[in-house]
Chain A
Amino acid sequence: MDAVRIERSLARIAHEILERNRGLEALALVGIRTRGVPLARRLAHTIHEINQHEIPTGTLDITLYRDDLMRTAVGAQPVVRRTEIPFSIDDKRILLVDDVLYTGRTIRAALDALIEFGRPRAIQLIVLVDRGHRELPIKADYVGKNLPTSRSQSVQVHLTEIDGRDEVEILES
């Protein structure tokens, strides 16, 4: 996926969000660190361009909710970064944003983390890439692109804000 296709996918998702959610007042975007964060900001920006509506945007770090922490005796802990949700999520429709949907474990952790901040009316999931191989009963509501992959491959999303360029690539390992 190149920069143009990523942009088109996000534009389509922005329109789908508007189509499915009447009444934008209750909407809020929450990006999962690391690459869900710039994706959430881009969606907020695109929606603003379409109808001048500002959607509040937050950042979620799910490290402390991971199910694979402290399962090995060797190696450092993953780095924890700040969670910043500067608005109440009570009764909001939360649009959770991540770059790749794979096993579903990150989303499970994100749901647990999010619910500690309040009781949203609904949580919807947006991903740029769905690569299959789910290990939990989790499904995205908005998908940029379905990429059939094998487990031995890895999907790398590069975004300009973090990596200096926009690209999705499949790597053989």
Chain B
Amino acid sequence: MKKDLLSIDDLTSDEIYLILDTTEAMREIGQRPIKKVPTLRGKTIVNLFYEASTRTRTSFEIAEKRLSADTLNIAVATSSVLKGETLADTAMNIEAMAPDMIVLRHASSGAGHLLSRICRSRIINAGDGMHEHPTQALLDAFTIREHKKRIEGLKVTIVGDLLHSRVLRSNVKLLTKLGADVWVSGPPTLVPAGIERFGVRVSPAIDEAVAGADVIMMLRIQQERMQGAFIPSLREYFQTFGMTRARVARAKPDVIIMHPGPMNRGVEIASDVADGPYSVILEQVANGVSVRMAVLYLLAGGVDVD
């Protein structure tokens, strides 16, 4: 493993499979009466979150505590950032207190890369702007593999706000690396230019994109990142791209429906689909803790010699 996990590009397919296999072992710890192992005793991990997050921050914190690391959370609302400190200065100040790892969530793409250059601590990207969210893609891959026993050759259809989604980028990189057949669909205003160069098939017709799919992954309409009118209205968006039972019926009979959360019910996904039998959305959340334990454990070791 490299020093940091900033992007799926940092991982070889062997390392991805190692993380998924380690996740299996980590999940068992969460089923014990005492859900804790002493592995990261004495390691200090700082969770530095510049954006609102419930799932990811809680998930990392539970993972860190299950591995016995000392953790502390810095939320921007209560930090010196409000007094005008730059990200680099905040990072250097945290670094001066010698943590072993920093988990960073930031609204700017590439924030983790900046920290990686100035910090000796290992950096885990927990979402940087519209760039990547590698641990989300890893937990998605784990969830898919658990249901389908493989990733290679599956038709995975990703629908929604592709433009603003870091989850999309990490998932596309990971799934194509492992040989899945990835389709994306969304309104043309929300499809990033040149996305086919990642090796995905783009279809503006959702019915074609979901036909015969093994996995459907819905993405949230990220209104907070939209400056301008990308879609006519939320109601029209739901009519054209929302995941309804009728659309799910076009996929394979054993399709699984995924969503990285937070969900907008009635916008990208109908409530009866979100809560329906094909939905694995809460499993994704449960698997998130185990995947993050695996990543923390594997990153805490020595760096590769090369």
Contact = CB atoms under 8 A, between A and B. Distances in A.
Interface string B286-299: 00000000100110
A79 B29 CA distance: 15
Nearest to B304: A76
Contact of B305 (A74, A81, A113): A74
Contacts of A76: 1, 298, 301-302, 304
Contacts of B22: 79-80
Contacts of A61: 25
A144 B34 CA distance: 34
A82 B294 CA distance: 12
Contacts of A116: 32-34, 36-37
A77 B302 CA distance: 7
Given A116-B32, A118-B33, A79 B38 contact: no
Interface in B264-306: 294, 297-298, 300-305
A59 B21 CA distance: 17
Nearest to A73: B302
Contact of A80 (B26, B33, B38): B26
Interface string B17-41: 0100110111011001110111100
A77 B294 CA distance: 11
A77 B297 contact: yes
Contacts of B39: 64-65, 69
A113 B34 CA distance: 11
Contacts of B305: 74-75
A117 interface: yes
B301 A70 contact: yes
A72 interface: yes
Contacts, number: 65
A112 interface: yes
A113 B67 CA distance: 13
A70 B300 contact: yes
Interface in A57-110: 61, 64-65, 69-70, 72-77, 79-84
Interface residues of B, number: 27
Contact of A75 (B18, B29, B302): B302
B21 A79 contact: yes
A83 B33 CA distance: 14
Nearest to B42: A70
Contacts of B32: 116-117
Contacts of A118: 33
B302 A64 contact: no
B302 A84 contact: no
Contact of B303 (A73, A83, A113): A73
Contacts of B28: 82-84
Contact of A79 (B18, B26, B43): B18
Contacts of A82: 24-25, 28
B25 A83 contact: yes
Nearest to A72: B302
A61 B21 CA distance: 14
A34 to B, nearest CB: 13
A80 B297 contact: yes
A167 B29 CA distance: 34
Given A82-B24, A83-B28, A117-B33, A64 B38 contact: yes
Contacts of B18: 79
A81 B297 CA distance: 13
B64 to A, nearest CB: 14
Given A64-B38, A116-B34, 11 more contacts: A61-B25, A69-B39, A74-B302, A77-B297, A77-B301, A77-B302, A80-B25, A81-B25, A82-B25, A117-B33, A118-B33
Interface of B: 1, 18, 21-22, 24-26, 28-29, 32-34, 36-39, 43, 67, 294, 297-298, 300-305
15 contacts: A64-B39, A70-B302, A72-B302, A75-B302, A76-B301, A77-B301, A77-B302, A79-B18, A80-B26, A80-B294, A84-B28, A116-B34, A116-B36, A117-B33, A118-B33
Interface of A: 61, 64-65, 69-70, 72-77, 79-84, 112-113, 116-118
6 closest A-B pairs by CB:
A77-B301, A80-B25, A74-B302, A64-B37, A75-B302, A64-B39
